[in-house]
Amino acid sequence: MSTSSHVDNVLLALVILPTLAWTIGLLVWRLLRGSDPSSSSTRTGRIASHLDRIAILRRWGTISPLERNIFGGISILVATITLLSTIMLIFRFNTRSPAQAIQFPLPPLPISLYADALSLYFLLVINIIALGASWNAYFYLQKEPEAGFYRGPSLFHVLMNLFHFTMLLTPVMDNLIGLWIAIESTTLVSALLVAYPNTARSWEAAWKYLIITSTGIILAFMGTVFLIHGMYASNDPVLHTMNWSELIQHIHLLQRNDSLDFVLLAFFFALAGYGVKAGLAPMHTWLPDAHGEAAPPISALFSGVLIKAAFYAILRFVMLTEKALGNEHLWLITYVLLGAGLFSLTMAVPFILNRKNHFKRVLAYHSLEHMGIILFGTGVGSAVALFGALLHVLNHAITKALMFLAYGNVLRKYNLSEEEGRSNILEPAGVFYLMPVTGLLLAMGGLALVGTPPFNIFLSLWMILWGGVQRWLEVMHTQSASRPLEPYILGISILIFSLATTLIYFGLVQHLARILLSHPPARKRIQEKITELIPLLLLMGLTCVLGVIVLPPLSILIQRSVDLLTLH
C-alpha cells in the first residue's frame, strides 16, 4: 500500500534535490567564471574557449580562498540537509502502519519515486557517509589548485555532489529500468572521480573500474530484460508493469506458468551484474584499484555506500525472486547467496594477510570481505540473520568511512609536512607517535572493522552468525528427505565463515601495527585540527554506540525492512 502526504513529498524532495540543485549551481558558476583560454590548442581547450564567450565573471579558471571555503561549506550544508530530512522522514514513517510506503509521482515522466522501509534505510546509510565525506573533502581540497576548466576544487564538488545525487536516486526508483539507470549513472560520475587525481595510477584505475563495472551493468540490464519479458509474456495483465512496488504484490501469480523460469534467469543475471558493482568475487578486481587511487572522501563513499547501493538492487531482485518461487524453492536462493557470500569472504583472506599490500588496498579488500558477510547473512535468510545483514550494511559503511577518512588525513598530512614540502609517501609509519588522535581513531576503527567487541561490527557479525547457527539447528531437526545434504552444507558454511573472519582479524591487526607502531620518520609531531577530527569523532561515536545498542528508530526501520524481505 502506498500513501504519502505533502509533508512526506516535501521531505523526500529535500532528501533528493539539494545535491542536484547544488551541482547545477556550481556548474553555472564554473561557466560564468570561464576557463583557461591559453590551452585552446587542445580539443578540450577549444571547447572551453567556446564556453568562455558566456563567462561574464571572467575569473579564468581560478578560485579564491573564500570561494573555496564557501563551496566546501555549502557541500557540507547540503549533505546535512539531506541527512536531517532523511531522519525526519524515518521518524514520520516509523509512526505509520508497516505496510505503507511513500510514492512520489513525477509527472509528466511515466515513473515515480518510491520509498519503503528498505529505501529509507539505504537513504540513511548514504546520507550519513556523504556528510562525513563532504566534511573531509573541505580539508582535502584546501591545498588543491583550481587548474583550468577540467580540474580543481569546484569540479570536485560538482562530481561529488552529482555522485551523491545518483546514489540517492537508486533506493527510490520504483521502475526497475530506472533503478538500472540510477546505478549506471553512479558509474559515470564515479569513474571521473577515480580519475580526478590525474596520476598514471588513477587513470589506470578509472579505466579498469569502467571496463569491469560496464561489463557487470550489461549483465544487470539483461537480467532486467528477462524479468520484464517474463512478466509481459504471462497472461496476467496485472504483471504487465516495470514498477517494483506493483510486481511484488502480484508476482506470486507467476507460479502458475512458465514465466517463472525467466524470473530465475533474471535473478542470476542481476546477481552477477549488480554483484560486479557490489564488489563481489570474482569480479572484485576493480575494488582495490578504485578505492586505493580515489581521493579519501571518494574512497569512503565507494566503500561505504556505492557498493551498498548495488547490494540494494540485488536485494530488490532477491525479494521478487523469493516471492515468485514461493517457500518450496527458497533453498535455491539460499544456496546461491550463501555460496556467493562465502566465495567473496574467502577470496579476501589472502589479500588481507599479504603484508606487502598497501593499507588502502587492504581496506578495499575488507569491502570484499564485508560484502561477503552481508550476502551470507542474506542467504541464511532467517529474521535474525537478515537483521544482522542489514545492520552490517550501516556498520560497515560507518567504520569503513572512518578508516578511509582517517587514513586519508594521515597521508595528506605526511605528504604535506612543513619541513619536507610535498612528497609522495604511500605507506606512512609511526602514526601513533606523530598524529596520536588520528592514530587512536585508526586503531579503534581497525579493531571495529574486524569485529572486536564492543564495537558495532561485532554486534552485526554475531547476529549473522547466530542466525546461521539457528538456521542450521532448525534444518538439523527438520531434515528434509529431498535435501539430505542441507545440514552439512550449512554447517560447513558456518565453519568457513568463522575461519575466514578469524584469519582476517589477524591480517588487519598486523597491517595496523605496521602503520601505527613502526618507527616514524624523523620529524616533529603533526598538528591535528579539531575541525578535521570532528567527522571522524562522530563516526567513531556511532561505531561505539551501535556496538552497544541499536537505537530504537533504527531498530524499527531495520525490522520493517526485514519484514519486507521475509514476506513470501
Partner 1 sequence: MDVSWLSDMGKWLIPVLELAILFTSLYIVTTTTIGHVIAAYRWQNLLLLIVATTTVAKNWRNFPQPYPHLLSWQTLFLFALMAWPVFLFFIIGRALALATISETRWLLDEKDRMDIHRTWVNASFRQKKPSLSRMGLSMVIYLVLVIFAFVVAFRFIPQPEEPSSRIGLGVALGLQFAGLFTLMTKRDLISQVIGIFVMDHGMYLSIMLLIPMPTPAGDFLLALYLYTFITLLLLFFLLPNLRRIKQRIDLDALQAESPLKG
The residues that touch partner 1, with contacts defined as CB under 8 A, are: 42-43, 175, 177, 180-181, 184, 187-188, 191-192, 195, 199-201, 203-208, 210-211, 214-215, 217-219, 221-222, 224-226, 228-229, 232-233, 240, 242, 258-259, 261-262, 264-265, 288-289, 292-293, 351, 354, 356-358, 361
The smaller minimum CB distance to partner 1, of residues 178 and 487, is found at 178
The smaller minimum CB distance to partner 1, of residues 164 and 360, is found at 360
The smaller minimum CB distance to partner 1, of residues 354 and 566, is found at 354
Paired strand residues for 127: none
The smaller minimum CB distance to partner 1, of residues 283 and 444, is found at 283
Q: What distance in Å separates the CA atoms of residue 423 and residue 127, rounded to the nearest whole number?
A: 33
Angle at 506 between CA 505 and CA 509, to 5 degrees: 90
The smaller minimum CB distance to partner 1, of residues 344 and 357, is found at 357
Instruction: Judge if the upstream peptide bond of residue 453 is cis by omega within 30 degrees of 0.
Output: no
Least separation, in Å, of the C-beta of 86 and partner 1?
27
Q: What distance in Å separates the CA atoms of residue 38 and residue 41, rounded to the nearest whole number?
A: 8
Least separation, in Å, of the C-beta of 199 and partner 1?
8
- What phi-psi label fits residue 61: left (phi over 0), alpha (psi between -120 and 50 degrees) or beta? left
- One-letter amino acid of 387: F
Number of residues that this document lists for the chain: 568
How many other β-carbons are positioned within 10 Å of the β-carbon of residue 150? 17
Residue 324: CA atoms inside 13 Å, Cβ hemisphere, count? 29
Least separation, in Å, of the C-beta of 237 and partner 1?
12
Are 394 and 459 a contacting pair, CB within 8 Å? Answer: no
The smaller minimum CB distance to partner 1, of residues 316 and 392, is found at 316
Q: In degrees rounded to 5, what are phi and psi of residue 317?
A: -70, -35
Are 389 and 464 a contacting pair, CB within 8 Å? Answer: yes
Least separation, in Å, of the C-beta of 134 and partner 1?
25
Q: Is 249 helix (H, G, I), strand (E, B) or coil?
A: helix
Kindly give, in sequence order, each residue whose CB lies less than 8 Å from that of residue 281, ignoring residues fewer than 6 positions away.
343, 344, 347, 348, 368, 372
In what helix (H) or strand (E) does residue 422 lie, and over which residues does it extend? strand 421-422
- What phi-psi label fits residue 526: left (phi over 0), alpha (psi between -120 and 50 degrees) or beta? beta
Least separation, in Å, of the C-beta of 241 and partner 1?
9
The smaller minimum CB distance to partner 1, of residues 101 and 205, is found at 205
3-class SS string, 138-187: HHHCCCCCCCCCCCCHHHHHHHHHHHHHHHHHHHHECEHHHHHHHHHHHH
Least separation, in Å, of the C-beta of 401 and partner 1?
23
- One-letter amino acid of 432: F
Name the nearest CA neighbour of 267 among 216, 230, 212, 227.
227
The smaller minimum CB distance to partner 1, of residues 67 and 204, is found at 204
Least separation, in Å, of the C-beta of 527 and partner 1?
31
The smaller minimum CB distance to partner 1, of residues 84 and 411, is found at 411
- One-letter amino acid of 238: V
The smaller minimum CB distance to partner 1, of residues 266 and 397, is found at 266
Name the nearest CA neighbour of 401 among 160, 187, 172, 126.
126
Q: What distance in Å separates the CA atoms of residue 396 and residue 279, rounded to the nearest whole number?
A: 14
